[in-house]
């Protein structure tokens, strides 16, 4: 720890800078005018206090002789005090005393207090110390004898332990009472002058001190010992402050240093960490510490057009890729950096099959860890299957014809059954529900058992794996009923009798089957009102079913329904044909016995057709068709429940694209199989 003498020497080395600040230009403090408006009023007061010189003994004695007693003070007492002061001044033996600033331990400020204002600035408070300056005008001179006379024989209050009362100021010798003995401090310090203080700052108490701000005596106030209260904005990295009296030429005794009550910044997190190429983005940083902060972002090409010094920069995502980035945050106490990775994604679109008129009624599933698609070759009336050559679907194998006899491949639904691809579809010319399962994952050879349901009119077919065996829900357009049927083995060589789940009118269009909490369930629409309905099995095998219930009675609300389990509860996406909006609703319980309010996910245009709901990254997401613009669109939820949704994305806008879209999570990414109506092609899009 440095001695007071060393601190004093350090202060003297910065005196030139301190005195240059007396005009309140405040170099290096360019935020002072806006952050601390109190300072702008100090300039005139300081200029008025900038007087210095020397005290003449003869002049002082002449002045004493002519001084009249203050009102209410006994003239004899006042004369006695004047005589005593004159005697002590003569005893000093010097005709002239040069004016000096307050020095010595008695004049050292020891109560410098610092308070954090919460905006990056700090309040500094301290009491004026100049022994002998009883009237606190900045100068120890003959005028101070009047203060003794006015309070003669008064005692310092015993509760004034810090000696900040006016009586403690006048009790210069510290004996607790105002008397003749208090004249001695005037004589001993005669000519000591304080026009104000200079605030100094340093990174460490033992470090190099720099001047921060001059403060004139006129700023101090109060009825007792004068109190200074000043707001300051230290430079970055400065952790300690102290105050030093001056007489406009020299500095006096430095105060005890005080540490600023703040913390250096810590960057905890940055969001978002991923986005889509070419889309706008605004970043946010989670920062702790003492504000204000300075920000320095390094995006390294991941973001274009962003202000890298802003707290929350806004820009545009750059080219797709993975980027190493960083954020450095600084304040008055230091700086902290966080390195993070930004992933810029884009929709990668592949034309999977363009031979003829192919792609309607496509169904996407992950088979053996790789995406695969079943679809209809409408030109030839064939059922086709194709599997990707990699986990993301960047490359695809040769499409294979599964069934070519008759007009087949309508309303295809693909699922992995027993580790193999399996497809349910409808024979258009016969109307029968058909099933095929491959002997290998690539689908080079297939087994076709007899017709699943010997009733014509199978539409809106949905295939799932139920306890390892195929199970199907579909709409029987001949009877206008919703039907469920399950097989007794994975090959589909033996099937149970079909069960009619709902026969109340024309019901079952846009049927969507899913296994919810271990039980098969179906969302569907009723015709012609378009009510959205839901029914759940009473057992895990689907042999018995509960009574169907209406999720939403509003007209034309159940078109293109899609069912999935969302965070432990059934949820449905659908289209409101009246408003042209994409809707989402989630049940209030695991069974689907009660449902919450519909959430409008997208209402920009005429959207929501062919909605396909799936869980991607633990959150619900929907692929759908905008029949107003002919675009394929995608939207993901901002939470696991689907209460809040992100901005929709246009996946493909090259022509009329997006009908028969089917969404699935592929290798952790959203992927969509869909039909390109303009080119009559099967297409696939994956986002990474």
The rounded mean pLDDT for the chain is 90
Q: Which residues pair with 671 in a beta bridge?
A: 664, 686
Length of the chain: 688
Break the chain into its structural domains and give their ranges: 4-259, 266-342, 347-687
Give CA–CA dist 511/464, Å, rounded: 13
Cβ partners under 8 Å of residue 5, min gap 6: none
pLDDT digits (tens, 9 = 90+) for 555-569: 789 999 999 999 999
Q: What is each CA distance from 480 to 356, 489, 655, in whole angstroms?
A: 33, 28, 35
What are the tokens at 679?
Answer: 């080119």
Please state, for a pLDDT cut of 70, what percent of the chain lies above it: 91
Per the CB < 8 A criterion, the answer to whether 687 and 669 are in contact is yes
For the domain made up of 266-342, give the CATH fold. Immunoglobulin-like (2.60.40)
Give CA–CA dist 236/332, Å, rounded: 4
The alpha carbon of residue 112 and the mean position of all alpha carbons in its chain are separated, in whole angstroms, by 37
Domains 4-259 and 347-687 share a fold: no
Confidence of residue 96 (pLDDT cuts 50, 70, 90): low
pLDDT digits (tens, 9 = 90+) for 11-49: 334 333 333 333 332 323 333 322 222 222 333 333 434
Task: Give the mean pLDDT of 235-242.
Answer: 88
Confidence at residue 55, expressed as pLDDT on a 0 to 100 scale: 61
| Residue 614 predicted with pLDDT over 50 | yes
Confidence at residue 435, expressed as pLDDT on a 0 to 100 scale: 96
Confidence of residue 54 (pLDDT cuts 50, 70, 90): low
Confidence at residue 562, expressed as pLDDT on a 0 to 100 scale: 98
Q: Which CATH architecture has domain 4-259?
A: Sandwich (2.60)
What kind and span of H or E run contains 166? helix 166-170
Per the CB < 8 A criterion, the answer to whether 611 and 575 are in contact is yes
Give the side-chain half-sphere CA count within 13 A for 561: 35
State the pairing for strand pair 334-345/274-276.
parallel
| Residue 110 predicted with pLDDT over 70 | yes
Q: Which CATH architecture has domain 347-687?
A: 6 Propeller (2.120)
Nearest 10 degrees: Cα torsion 127, 132, 134, 140? -100
Confidence at residue 250, expressed as pLDDT on a 0 to 100 scale: 93
């Amino acid at each position: 720890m440095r001695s007071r003498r060393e601190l004093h020497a350090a202060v003297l080395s910065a005196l030139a800078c301190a005195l240059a600040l007396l005009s309140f230009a405040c170099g290096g403090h360019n935020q002072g005018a806006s952050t601390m408006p109190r300072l702008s009023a100090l300039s005139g007061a300081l200029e008025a206090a900038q007087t210095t010189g020397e005290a003449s003994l003869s002049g002082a004695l002449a002045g004493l002789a002519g001084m009249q007693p203050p009102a209410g003070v006994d003239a004899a007492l006042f004369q006695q005090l004047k005589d005593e002061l004159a005697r002590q001044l003569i005893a000093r033996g010097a005709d002239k005393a040069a004016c000096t600033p307050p020095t010595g331990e008695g004049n050292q400020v020891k109560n410098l207090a610092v308070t954090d204002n919460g905006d990056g600035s700090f309040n500094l408070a301290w009491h004026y110390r100049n022994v002998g300056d009883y009237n606190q005008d900045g100068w120890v001179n003959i005028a101070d004898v009047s203060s003794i006379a006015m309070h003669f024989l008064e005692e310092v209050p015993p509760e004034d332990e810090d000696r900040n009362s006016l009586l403690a100021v006048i009790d210069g010798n510290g004996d607790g009472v105002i008397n003749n003995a208090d004249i001695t401090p005037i004589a001993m310090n005669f000519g000591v002058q304080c026009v104000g203080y200079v605030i100094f700052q340093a990174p460490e108490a033992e470090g190099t001190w720099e001047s921060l701000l001059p403060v004139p005596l006129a700023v101090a106030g109060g009825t007792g010992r004068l109190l200074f209260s000043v707001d300051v904005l230290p430079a970055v990295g400065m952790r300690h402050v102290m105050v030093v009296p001056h007489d406009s030429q020299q500095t006096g005794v430095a105060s005890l240093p005080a540490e600023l009550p703040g913390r250096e910044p810590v960057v905890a997190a940055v969001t978002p960490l991923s986005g889509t190429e070419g889309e706008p983005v605004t970043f946010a940083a989670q920062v702790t510490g003492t504000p204000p902060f300075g920000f320095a972002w390094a995006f390294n090409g991941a973001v274009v057009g962003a202000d890298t010094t802003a707290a929350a920069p806004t820009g545009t995502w750059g080219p797709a890729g993975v980027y190493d980035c960083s954020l450095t945050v600084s304040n008055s106490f230091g700086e902290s950096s966080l390195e993070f990775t930004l992933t810029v994604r884009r929709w990668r679109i592949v034309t999977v099959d363009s031979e003829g008129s192919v792609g309607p009624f496509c169904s996407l599933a992950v088979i053996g860890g790789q995406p695969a698609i079943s679809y209809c070759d409408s030109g030839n009336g064939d059922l086709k299957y194709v599997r990707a050559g990699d986990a993301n679907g960047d490359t695809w194998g040769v499409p294979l014809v599964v069934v070519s006899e008759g007009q087949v491949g309508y309303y295809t639904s693909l699922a992995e059954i027993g580790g193999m691809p399996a497809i349910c579809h409808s024979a258009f010319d016969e109307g029968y529900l058909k099933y095929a399962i491959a002997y290998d994952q690539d689908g080079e050879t297939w087994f076709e058992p007899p017709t699943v349901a010997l009733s014509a009119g199978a539409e809106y077919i949905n295939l799932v794996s139920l306890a390892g065996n195929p199970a199907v829900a579909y709409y029987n357009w001949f009877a206008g009923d919703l039907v469920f049927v399950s097989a007794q083995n994975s090959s589909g060589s033996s099937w149970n009798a079909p069960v009619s789940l709902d026969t109340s009118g024309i019901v079952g269009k846009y049927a969507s089957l899913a296994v919810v909490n271990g039980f098969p369930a179906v969302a569907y629409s009723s015709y012609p009102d378009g009510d959205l309905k839901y029914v759940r099995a009473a057992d895990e095998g689907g042999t018995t079913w509960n009574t169907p219930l209406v999720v939403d009675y509003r007209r034309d609300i159940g078109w293109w329904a899609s069912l999935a389990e969302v965070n432990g509860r059934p949820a449905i996406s659908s289209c409101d044909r009246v408003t042209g909006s994409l809707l989402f609703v989630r049940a209030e319980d695991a069974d689907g016995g009660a449902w919450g309010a519909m959430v409008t996910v997208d209402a920009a245009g005429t959207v929501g057709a062919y909605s396909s709901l799936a869980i991607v990254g633990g959150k619900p997401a929907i692929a759908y068709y905008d029949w107003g613009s002919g675009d394929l669109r995608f939207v993901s939820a901002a939470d696991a429940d689907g209460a809040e949704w992100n901005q929709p994305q246009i996946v493909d806008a090259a022509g009329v694209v997006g009908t028969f879209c089917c969404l699935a999570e592929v290798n952790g990414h959203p992927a969509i199989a869909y039909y390109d109506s303009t080119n009559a092609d099967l297409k696939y899009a994956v986002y990474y």
